[in-house]
Structure 1
Amino acid sequence: MSMDPFTIEAVVRQLRKLLPGAAVGKIHQPGPHDLILRLWTGRGNLRLLISAAPRASRIHLTTEVYPNPQAPPRFCQLLRSRLGRLLEIERVPGERIVRLVFADSENRFWTLVAELLGPRANLILLDPSGRIVDALLRVEGEGRTILPGKPYLPPEPLLRSDLQEGVPPIPADVPLRAWLLQTVTPMTELLAADIEAAVDAGEEAQEALEKLRRRYLNFDFSPCVGLWQEKSILSALTPEHLSLESLQTFADVSRAADAFYAEAGGEELFGGGKEALERIVRKGLQRLEKRLANIEAEESKARGFVRQRELGDLLLANIHRLRRGLAEVVLDDWYADPPVPVTVPLDPALSPQENAECYFRRHRKGKRGLEHIERRRGETLAESQWLEGVLLGLDEAEEEGEIEAIREELVAARLLQKRPGPPVRNRPALAETAVRQAITPGGYTLFWGRNNRSNDHVSRTLTRPDDLWFHAANMPGCHLVLRRKGEGGDVPEADVLFAAAIAAAHSRGKDAGKVEVMVAEGKWVRKPKGARPGLVTVEHYRTVVVRPQTISS
């Protein structure tokens, strides 16, 4: 999620207070799209992050530590030679473009233009005359040309009404949210939905938009991070009528942005080494843990739907005692043992039959909501189980190819962006190269995976219906298969325990004294349709308890 105009404006206003006159210390380029400027303000060092990442273009102060390449890239070297002291910071009105003006040691002025435009994001350095010195991403072809020596031409301006200039009249009978997003700047999907919710609650649309404008003009920012419609959201303004899951509020917008992009994997957008991938996976697990807690809270509220049906039944059973105009009625509640009087609220404007139907409607709505909650819980638990497997795979990874397989798995799950550059050709299948092999004392061949993808390969490709399949019970672990010999027959228990001990050694319980391991025939191991790599269901199995044992494979 790239930074929206509201948040960019909030950051710019924060930076104007802290950074004018700051001396540029170090400049680093930790990733292909990211810059870190270390600035001395006279009171201490601050680190300014500017990113042109297509899915995470942004600007904010950061406390995160980013690994840097041994040699600074071309654009980073250029900035080091030009930028001495930060003089001005401004946002181009109505746009997601920030201009930072610097002076060098000879008091010449250089402008760093941060075009935070999502897929079209770029960082461009201009000389004192306004010509392009260079850009992070050089562009040549149709449309704008961004090359050294060319005059800088800004993107075509958005033809929208700027909130700083006033609130445009809202036409009648238009889809409000779509109109706001197409007509007003700055505006976000979340805040447009919040205005729509205000109107649904009885507020006039024009007044709701004017209220948002006043918050904007008065710098009444309330930065927050949360979940909305199953998506992580960063907003400079906390919505007033919508509720966000896992809501966190922050003292300043840079702290909110730092937390949001770190949790979203922004610290290593393309992945880094093993440690960087582990950080991304752990933050993903923390996010799922918070989501699960919210699901539990929603479930406790939704459980009341059964009571709505009971009250509807009581009304129908006593409908001869009811009449239009009653605000409530006291009935005997035969669902209690023994029955007790219960006061049932009514809508005086409705008939007795309509009041009963209201309770049945709430029951049906609550039942559907509970079904949705159960589905979300299952999806969340499955995703958490998958990420636990990814984490174990990273722990087991010893070779660069195994780490690369996990990185590709995270890219496929959209937790990372694909690294730029041409694809690697003639590379062996990573799932197959990560499979390990050994022989039991009885001469049976064992295969097991080292990550989710190789586990998938073991269970789906290498496991035959009569083979024995092993997995540590109730914890992340490798998929291990014992290949039966051609003549069939029972596998000696000593070989079963040997295989189980290896499966235990390549699980989250590897440091435990004893581990319970599932043993199933291959025909009972199935992968659900659409499931993540490494996730299977096992219909019939037995368990053995073994001490984890590693061997040279």
Structure 2
Amino acid sequence: MAFDGITIANIRKELDEALTGGRVYKIAQPEPDELLLTIKNNGTQQRVTLSASASLPLIYLTDKNKTSPMTAPNFCMLLRKHIQNGKIISISQPGMERIINFEIEHLDEMGDVCRKLLIVELMGKHSNIIFCNDSGIIIDSIKHISGLVSSVREVLPGKEYFIPHTQDKLNPLTASEEDFMDRVFAGSMPCFKALYSGFTGLSPAIAHEICYRAGGDADLSTAALDEAGRKALYRAFSEMMGDVRSGDFSPCIVYENGVPAEYAALRLTSYPEAQRKDYASISALLEDYYAEKNTITRIRQRSSDLRRIVSTALERNIKKYDLQLKQMRDTEKKDKYRIYGELLNTYGYGVEPGAKSMTALNYYTNEDIVIPLDPMLTAGENAKKYFDKYNKLKRTFEALSQLTLETKSEIDHLESVSNALDIAQKEEDLVQIKEELIESGYIRRKGGSKKVKVTSRPFHYVSSDGYDIYVGKNNYQNDELTFRFASGNDWWFHAKGMPGSHVVVKSRGDELPDSTFEDAARLAAHYSRGRGQEKVEIDYTEKKNVKKPGGGKPGFVVYYTNYSMMIDSDISALKQIE
């Protein structure tokens, strides 16, 4: 989990600098498991989101407000009664646990100064926000956990609060070199796993980074490390924990193929710099990271109906195609039956009545051939029977030759639609895809409904040499780019033999540099079914060589003059224009 103890330490430092000494101005509970606190401090107003969501526990500073329910929940009302206008005395993190404690000073009903603790536990499905008095007795919590739910700890009013220690892990900030050696090298397991399973608050990403900084292989067994390797691993671990102790954080997000893949509160130098985006604030990082992740998740959810329609149609057409190919293979016997008929007409006069076979010279191969006969029929009748079989298979072959082409075309079309769904990034990108499925007959247009307005536009990138590159998001955009937007001397790219986007480079009449060809080819690889592969073969040619066959489906083209190259699908170095 990226939201580890080091990330919590970074957040605690940021919250401490922004909120300590401030007063709790507003308390809201916009979601059943989420609080939004507004803090006034040094003439400024800050908001902090505290979420105990089982799927996405978070805590970060934010500028955004949220709409609260008309009637505040009981937990929110309790906090307002006790700590509204209270002063934040301290913000702490016990050890390297995924816990943040807010110590708040306020006046009770008698006007006496007293202190309370607001404890935010960010532990996946066990996340909670717990309100305690200064003696550690729980006043209330945003989630009540009874003994029926957890055998480890009850979280109920009146119970004593304690941190459950269900795993035997060491605090990495206080571990000595001897502790490190005893814990990491006690058994035999991959180095990165020994690190994050032996110390509190280390995520697999940080464990990989420690191994990288030590100059070793993260997957190498701890038993295989020599003394120098062990010392190097400890030095890298010690230096990183020193950064945490001193508050020297460097938050960053790592992108893979343009999608946020990982984040950490310390710089992940194991990834290329082009794939990293550095942040000055961990709160800004968390807002961006989860906003992008939520967008991707939301698009997946919104496109689920379209995906189901496409996958069902694709499965049906693939089964039909396999059956047609089997029937085509069966028609391969047709010429054998024709030859049998011809030879029976030529040599059948010598066949005795009731014969079950006839041996004759096949004048096509100059070899003898044995022809099975129906003993109840004459030679002429057997010949007619074979010609009838031949003619039936011939008609079947002619019909199937066309049908298999049509079915294969339908499969290619559906696979291209599936690829378009995979690369859709916004809800408006789905509009054209749905329209294409309607016009193809896979979705019935609702009575009286008109075509919706299309606002989606092709991806726009700029090559390392400053040339504009455009990428179609779906088949309609592919046709638009290739046949209405591109001019004859612009260059056109497409992944060879697989579904993918049309990529057009506006040449401006120039002779393009090699690096621009490579940039466009990478985009064609990335926005195809081959993305993620080590190498993808890309066809490219001038646009004037690309033709649309009569009656061709959206996005389908032909070309007979082209070049090819093998390229990776990493586009992290390319600049996208919004």
TM-score by length of structure 1 reads 0.51
3-state SS of paired residue (1:48):
strand
Q: Which residue of 2 aligns with 1:415?
A: none
- Structure 2 CA distance, aligned partners of 1:470 and 1:262? 34
Counterpart AA for 2:172:
L
- Structure 1 CA distance, aligned partners of 2:442 and 2:453? 9
2:246 to 210, 218, 228: 218
Q: Which residue of 2 aligns with 1:127?
A: 133
**Contact 1:131 1:152 (C-alpha < 8 Å) held by counterparts:** yes
2:421 to 374, 378, 382: 382
3-state SS of paired residue (2:25):
strand
**Contact 2:25 2:39 (C-alpha < 8 Å) held by counterparts:** yes
1:233 to 256, 259, 262: 262
1:159 matched to 2:168? The reply is: yes
- Structure 1 CA distance, aligned partners of 2:456 and 2:288? 33
2:97 to 77, 95, 110: 95
**Which runs of no fewer than 5 residues in structure 2 stay unpaired?**
218-227, 304-415, 458-474, 479-498, 500-548, 555-578
Q: Which residue of 2 aligns with 1:108?
A: 114
1:178 matched to 2:193? The reply is: yes
Q: Greater shift after overlay, 111-120 or 144-153?
A: 144-153
Residues 162 and 482 (structure 1), Cα distance of their counterparts in 2 relative to 1, 3 Å cut: closer
Per the TM alignment, residue 481 of structure 1 is displaced from its structure 2 partner at its CA by 4.1
Per the TM alignment, residue 134 of structure 1 is displaced from its structure 2 partner at its CA by 0.9
3-state SS of paired residue (2:276):
strand
- Structure 2 CA distance, aligned partners of 1:510 and 1:235? 33
Q: Which residue of 2 aligns with 1:41?
A: 41
**Contact 2:428 2:455 (C-alpha < 8 Å) held by counterparts:** no
Residues 66 and 162 (structure 1), Cα distance of their counterparts in 2 relative to 1, 3 Å cut: same
Per the TM alignment, residue 388 of structure 1 is displaced from its structure 2 partner at its CA by 3.9
1:242 matched to 2:271? The reply is: yes
3-state SS of paired residue (1:102):
strand
- Structure 1 CA distance, aligned partners of 2:157 and 2:445? 62
Residues 117 and 509 (structure 1), Cα distance of their counterparts in 2 relative to 1, 3 Å cut: closer
Counterpart AA for 1:30:
P
3-state SS of paired residue (1:14):
helix
Residues 114 and 540 (structure 1), Cα distance of their counterparts in 2 relative to 1, 3 Å cut: farther
Per the TM alignment, residue 543 of structure 1 is displaced from its structure 2 partner at its CA by 7.9
Q: Which residue of 2 aligns with 1:506?
A: 452
- Structure 2 CA distance, aligned partners of 1:132 and 1:257? 30
TM-score by length of structure 2 reads 0.49
Percent of pairs with identical residues: 22
- Structure 2 CA distance, aligned partners of 1:118 and 1:264? 17
Counterpart AA for 1:233:
E
Q: Which residue of 1 aligns with 2:439?
A: 470
Cα offsets for 1:309-334 (capped at 9, x unmatched) = xxxxxxxxxxxxxxxxxxxxxxxxxx
Residues 228 and 77 (structure 1), Cα distance of their counterparts in 2 relative to 1, 3 Å cut: farther
Counterpart AA for 1:98:
I
Cα offsets for 1:132-173 (capped at 9, x unmatched) = 111100111242211112222322264222221134114285
1:251 matched to 2:280? The reply is: yes
**Which runs of no fewer than 5 residues in structure 1 stay unpaired?**
270-276, 283-376, 394-450, 460-468, 472-477, 484-498, 519-527, 529-538, 545-553
**Contact 2:428 2:454 (C-alpha < 8 Å) held by counterparts:** no
1:73 matched to 2:73? The reply is: yes
Q: Which residue of 2 aligns with 1:193?
A: 208
Q: Which residue of 2 aligns with 1:25?
A: 25
**Contact 1:228 1:244 (C-alpha < 8 Å) held by counterparts:** no
**Contact 1:2 1:118 (C-alpha < 8 Å) held by counterparts:** no
Per the TM alignment, residue 18 of structure 1 is displaced from its structure 2 partner at its CA by 2.4
1:149 matched to 2:95? The reply is: no
- Which aligned pairs between 1:146-545 and structure 2 lie closer than 5 A? 146-156=155-165, 158-166=167-175, 167=177, 168-169=180-181, 170-171=184-185, 174-198=189-213, 199-200=215-216, 204-227=232-255, 232-243=261-272, 246-265=275-294, 381-385=420-424, 387-388=426-427, 392=431, 470=439, 480-481=443-444, 505-508=451-454
- Structure 2 CA distance, aligned partners of 1:77 and 1:390? 43
Residues 182 and 379 (structure 1), Cα distance of their counterparts in 2 relative to 1, 3 Å cut: farther
**Contact 1:2 1:55 (C-alpha < 8 Å) held by counterparts:** no
3-state SS of paired residue (2:107):
coil
**Contact 2:173 2:245 (C-alpha < 8 Å) held by counterparts:** yes
- Structure 1 CA distance, aligned partners of 2:445 and 2:25? 60
Larger Cα-atom Rg: 2
**Contact 1:2 1:57 (C-alpha < 8 Å) held by counterparts:** no
Q: CA RMSD in A?
A: 4.3
Cα offsets for 1:204-253 (capped at 9, x unmatched) = 32222222222222222101122369763221001122337752211122
